[in-house]
Amino acid sequence: MFNASQRQLLKVLGIQPLRLKAQFQSSGKSASEDLDSSSSIQFCPDLNHGLVQDVLAFCQQQPVAAEKALLLGTLHWSIQPELTACQLSEHQLLTPELATLASTALKRQLWQCLSRYFDAAD
């Protein structure tokens, strides 16, 4: 768990390491699966894009551009280039690149996700 220098430092500082309870252990994913899911590329949508402007008008939320997401109130919208469909999970909206969202089917899916999210928030 700790290397020798870390154990020595903890001992010198008088810190007793805690044991992780079983309920907080990994849910069966391997470390490589966790790394794969956390290393996927995500970035914030371009605020100047027409579709993003339409979404901002619909949401009526003051947008905050972060490194990996556009924050629309409690909704976090991220672009994930490898996706082929829009995904809404809790407060996270993941979509393919904006150029891909130009297709009618994906645009419809985006609006359905947004409607579902904001209707549930009411």
In tens, the pLDDT along 44-85 reads 999 999 999 999 999 888 899 988 999 998 999 999 999 999
- CB burial of 9-30 (b: ≥16 within 10 Å; e: otherwise) equals eeeeeeeeeeeeeeeeeeeeee
Q: Of 109 and 35, which is predicted with more confidence?
A: 109
What distance in Å separates the CA atoms of residue 60 and residue 55, rounded to the nearest whole number? 8
Backbone torsion region of residue 92, taken as left when φ is above 0, otherwise alpha when ψ lies between -120 and 50, otherwise beta: beta
pLDDT band at 21 (very low <50, low <70, confident <90, very high): low
Is the per-residue pLDDT at 8 higher than 90? Answer: no
- Rounded distance, CA 71 to CA 8, Å? 43
The per-residue pLDDT for 1 is 55
